[in-house]
Structure 1
Amino acid sequence: MYQRQEIFNIIELFTSQKLINFYTKIFDSLDLSILPDRIPSKYGPNGYSRHALFRAFIVMKCEKFGKITDLKDFLENNLIIAQLCGFNILKPLPSYSVFQRFIKNLSNSYLKEIMKNQVNILKELGFIDNNFISVDATPVKANTKFNNPKCFANNKFSKNNPPSSDKDCKLGVHTANNSMNVQVSEDKPNNSKKKYEFYWGYKNHVICDAISGLPIAEFTTTADVNEISNFTEILSDTNEWFPLKGSYIIADKGYDSKQNHDFIRNTLKGHAFIALNKRGRKPKDLTSTGNVICDAGLAMHKDGKQYFDSYIKQKFCCPFRTSKDDSLCPCNHEKFFNGKKNRGCVKYISIGTDYRSSINRDSIFFKKIYSLRTESERYNSRWKNLNTEQAYVKNINSVANLNTIGHICLLTIAIAAIKSGCVDKYKSLSGLKGQLKLSYIKIFKHQFHQGDSLPFFVSFISI
């Protein structure tokens, strides 16, 4: 009786039952067979289990910790969770440097394979398919004082003044306006113009299932890499193991280019739903018949076409180009008095003939499909809620690994929710924690191999 009372005075044992149930189910839904558990060493011990270290970082993301120190404190104060991860709690837990070296030196290819396995499981369960695919990128700010709004350093966003704390990060820009059509009006300059935000850091590019809102593939780059340049690469790599043939590919105007449209159409045999990026071009005023309106407010006449490989150049001329009357131009434009036989202004409109130009972005069909892109925004919000928007490590490999672990965490939550019968919680981290119910003692017995002795406190509690 005295021994039992002493055990109940150990505060580390009183971890929430719901939390224990949650992590037991999460780890049961996570296959780490692709990751070697130990790395043989010629000169000393093999060190801690890499499976245990990986599960610890899953705990870090599920608890929304940004720093490794917070993870270490949590495990020290919740030894049951550390036991579930695979650590021997009768010995000291890994130090901060062990966790730091693990996340820095671990090859991201292992994590990519673990993520592929989780995606394939959800595909077999019928929760992920290739019908509607959404692509998006989200910024990840580096761990540097230059990203602090209260930092008043000179030229803190200059390429010639990179931060010394993280030598891998690059200068990037994030726009707060990703709408399909942005019209700049002189009457409302403050509301219509795009708002830019410069930052030092990285980008995480994610392919999502636009129906279920679950990730399929991802990769991390520095912040200076634009979306257009790596769009075909991530789709091509994903298509090798997750077929995208015939898919509807949805993306915002940051991915708009002729090359990306042709890749979707010709290589993937799919359909592109990418918003048009006008890239600062001012739209010309046109009549209902498609004629250009000149500076004087007159409809210009069509005057021939020039044909090129992927577009047609339509020429428009002044309606009074052959007139000799100098008073016909209402605005007395300087080009009307050019002294030539054909007087007046000349303007051109380029009419594309490629796949990108043939898409009717004003149709109801396009707008209905494009509206599914908001699922990417919702997923990015859930991913950022794991405290991934701000990096607290200082190299690209560590940032990439933590980003991938965040995606694996959300995929594993979905698998655990589906297999536990809590399908409505497959996108809710907090909701799933309150649903799972398992035996307290059964959890410990599950973690020990046959023939191993249970920890002394479990033996007493199970009396």
Structure 2
Amino acid sequence: MIPVSHLFDQSTLATLLDHDPVVADYRAFFSLIDWSLVEQWERSQSTHRRPPLHSERAYLKAFLLRIREGFLYSTQLRQFLLKHPLLIIDFDFHLVLDPQKPYGFDAQKTLPSRFWLSKKLRWLDQGLLQQLLEATVSALQAQIPGLGETVAFDVKHIYAWVKENNPRAYIKERFDKDQVLIGDPDCKLGVKRSTNQEQPDGSTKEKKELLWGYGSGVAAATTPDYGDVVLAEYTQPFNENDVTYFRPLSQRAALALQHFPTHITADAAYDAWYIYEAAARHGGIAAVPLNQHGHLVYERASDGVPLCPKKLRMHPTYQFNHTYGYRAQRFRCPLLFPQATGNTCDHAQFGKGKGCVKDVNWERGARMRVSLNRESPLYKAIYTQRTSCERINSQAKEIGIERPRVHNHRSVANLNTLTYVIINVRALSRAISINRGLLQMI
């Protein structure tokens, strides 16, 4: 709605809207977002409730502006909009009309209070935000052929807005993981970084850098010409291991892409058999460094069959469902199975009459994990794409994702999703510009 005032009639206000540089900038930015999803969401809400004063679209535009402008607080967002009343009109807030005001409405009465803006951020529908992010991926696919053939996974740490994260504040039980913090009852204590420090006696001691907060997991893809794209994101409290992000991220990425990626890459924290399984099922590989997690290493043949301590290829007997959820294969001593050869062995287990026994994870992913050639050109080419997540994390940090000024999990998660929407919209704008330039060269 375009109001009318004692200074400007509607045609003048419409002209001001069309020529204001700030309005023009945000119109161009928002034109790359699929707002029909918001309209569908609004129609799906219960008709028995009183309709909201302002549309969901107006709130989402305001929160995207908050992140894009680098504002930490709702107060800053509100003050900015008060200084740019044309944005209030263009964002489609429900105006409190007042012809005596310069722009025909009372901006103070129109805008929600700081308290309500903070509350609304918390109660945004996370499902709707995920749909908006998925829509940016679809739009990017239309511009970038082959997007998502290789997907990288990583986690970015986020500091909760609590005094326990302030090293200058005296906290008696700063790192008591069982306490519930007053500043943010949803955040958890986790390890940001772990290093080994050499002691005077030559030994090493593990040093852990702890923080209270959240982890923002991302699935990303990159192309040489178009740069980096966020395919999916997922937020959890920081006490969860990195590998727990994989399944929700891979599901969301496949939903956004409408296909499964061929190859997967991540750091050593993702060295789990089901990561490789996800790639093996679709004819690809998982370029992940091997991490034994402190377990003993035993030798394998090139096809994954274990070798006994005497370097003999062990004999497969039967398969069974392991309690850890995978299909396992039992291997026995080759000197005793399938029948005794008459040869002897000095191993203790052989003396007991049963020989060595190994129960091996025999899923395709588990076999890929131990047999993958990590020096091959294919592995190295895919693994280098892992840096796309690092660049996405760098962009997100620059926008302000690392230290949000909110006090709960829902608000952090909503800010994170909106941050990645902004990153993808920027990527989409860049891709459209590149493709337009290529067409002009033809």
TM-score (norm 2): 0.71
Measured after TM superposition, the shift of residue 204 of structure 1 is 1.0
Task: Give me the whole-angstrom Cα distance separating, in 1, the residues matched to 2:145 and 2:77.
Answer: 31
Q: Does 1:302 align with 2:310?
A: yes
Q: Is the contact between residue 135 and residue 256 of structure 2 (CA under 8 Å) also seen in structure 1?
A: no
196, 199, 207: which one aligns with 2:219: 207
Secondary structure of 1:151's counterpart equals coil
Equivalent residue, structure 1, for 2:66: 60
Measured after TM superposition, the shift of residue 414 of structure 1 is 2.5
Equivalent residue, structure 1, for 2:24: 21
Measured after TM superposition, the shift of residue 64 of structure 1 is 1.5
Measured after TM superposition, the shift of residue 313 of structure 1 is 9.4
Moved more, 193-202 or 405-414: 193-202
Q: Does 1:383 align with 2:396?
A: yes
Equivalent residue, structure 2, for 1:454: none
Measured after TM superposition, the shift of residue 19 of structure 1 is 3.7
Equivalent residue, structure 2, for 1:47: 53
1:281-325 superposed Cα distances (whole Å, 9 cap, x missing partner): 6889xxxxxxxxxxxxxxxx936565674697999xxxxx99xxx
Q: Is the contact between residue 245 and residue 270 of structure 1 (CA under 8 Å) also seen in structure 2?
A: no
Distance 1:133 1:184, change over 3 A: farther
Equivalent residue, structure 1, for 2:232: 217
Task: Give me the whole-angstrom Cα distance separating, in 2, the residues matched to 1:35 and 1:104.
Answer: 17
Task: Give me the whole-angstrom Cα distance separating, in 2, the residues matched to 1:370 and 1:193.
Answer: 30
Task: Give me the whole-angstrom Cα distance separating, in 2, the residues matched to 1:227 and 1:381.
Answer: 18
Secondary structure of 1:64's counterpart equals coil
Q: Does 1:169 align with 2:187?
A: yes
Equivalent residue, structure 2, for 1:289: none
Task: Give me the whole-angstrom Cα distance separating, in 2, the residues matched to 1:189 and 1:240.
Answer: 51
Amino acid at match of 1:85: F
For the pair shown, which has the larger CA radius of gyration, 1 or 2?
1
Secondary structure of 1:35's counterpart equals helix
Task: Give me the whole-angstrom Cα distance separating, in 1, the residues matched to 2:417 and 2:131.
Answer: 10
Amino acid at match of 1:96: R
112, 117, 126: which one aligns with 1:108: 126
Task: Give me the whole-angstrom Cα distance separating, in 2, the residues matched to 1:22 and 1:132.
Answer: 33
Q: Does 1:257 align with 2:272?
A: yes
Q: Does 1:358 align with 2:371?
A: yes
Q: Does 1:94 align with 2:109?
A: no
Measured after TM superposition, the shift of residue 351 of structure 1 is 9.6
Task: Give me the whole-angstrom Cα distance separating, in 2, the residues matched to 1:45 and 1:241.
Answer: 31
423, 432, 437: which one aligns with 1:410: 423
1:306-455 matches, cutoff 5 A? 309=328, 354-419=367-432
Task: Give me the whole-angstrom Cα distance separating, in 1, the residues matched to 2:198 and 2:382.
Answer: 28
Equivalent residue, structure 1, for 2:305: none
Task: Give me the whole-angstrom Cα distance separating, in 2, the residues matched to 1:153 and 1:81.
Answer: 44
Distance 1:270 1:405, change over 3 A: same
Amino acid at match of 1:31: D
Task: Give me the whole-angstrom Cα distance separating, in 2, the residues matched to 1:312 and 1:175.
Answer: 39
Task: Give me the whole-angstrom Cα distance separating, in 2, the residues matched to 1:362 and 1:193.
Answer: 31
Q: Is the contact between residue 303 and residue 314 of structure 1 (CA under 8 Å) also seen in structure 2?
A: no
Task: Give me the whole-angstrom Cα distance separating, in 2, the residues matched to 1:388 and 1:242.
Answer: 25
1:406-425 superposed Cα distances (whole Å, 9 cap, x missing partner): 0111112233344456989x
Q: Is the contact between residue 313 and residue 351 of structure 1 (CA under 8 Å) also seen in structure 2?
A: no
Q: Is the contact between residue 68 and residue 399 of structure 2 (CA under 8 Å) also seen in structure 1?
A: yes
Q: Does 1:69 align with 2:82?
A: no
69, 77, 87: which one aligns with 1:81: 87
1:175-254 matches, cutoff 5 A? 175=193, 196-211=208-223, 212-245=227-260, 247-254=262-269
1:416-439 superposed Cα distances (whole Å, 9 cap, x missing partner): 344456989xxxxxxxxxxxxxxx
Q: Is the contact between residue 66 and residue 388 of structure 1 (CA under 8 Å) also seen in structure 2?
A: no
Distance 1:219 1:128, change over 3 A: farther
Task: Give me the whole-angstrom Cα distance separating, in 1, the residues matched to 2:79 and 2:239.
Answer: 35
Q: Is the contact between residue 396 and residue 419 of structure 2 (CA under 8 Å) also seen in structure 1?
A: yes
Task: Give me the whole-angstrom Cα distance separating, in 1, the residues matched to 2:291 and 2:92.
Answer: 50
Query: Please, which runs of 5 or more residues in structure 1 have no aligned partner?
Result: 5-12, 178-182, 285-300, 316-320, 323-341, 425-463
Distance 1:261 1:22, change over 3 A: same
Secondary structure of 1:366's counterpart equals helix
Distance 1:422 1:176, change over 3 A: farther
Measured after TM superposition, the shift of residue 391 of structure 1 is 2.2
Task: Give me the whole-angstrom Cα distance separating, in 2, the residues matched to 1:376 and 1:80.
Answer: 37
Q: Is the contact between residue 305 and residue 313 of structure 1 (CA under 8 Å) also seen in structure 2?
A: no
Equivalent residue, structure 1, for 2:340: none
Measured after TM superposition, the shift of residue 277 of structure 1 is 1.8
TM-score (norm 1): 0.68
Q: Does 1:274 align with 2:288?
A: yes
Q: Is the contact between residue 128 and residue 209 of structure 1 (CA under 8 Å) also seen in structure 2?
A: no
Secondary structure of 1:206's counterpart equals strand
Amino acid at match of 2:410: N
Measured after TM superposition, the shift of residue 189 of structure 1 is 7.7
Task: Give me the whole-angstrom Cα distance separating, in 2, the residues matched to 1:314 and 1:253.
Answer: 32
Moved more, 66-75 or 76-85: 76-85
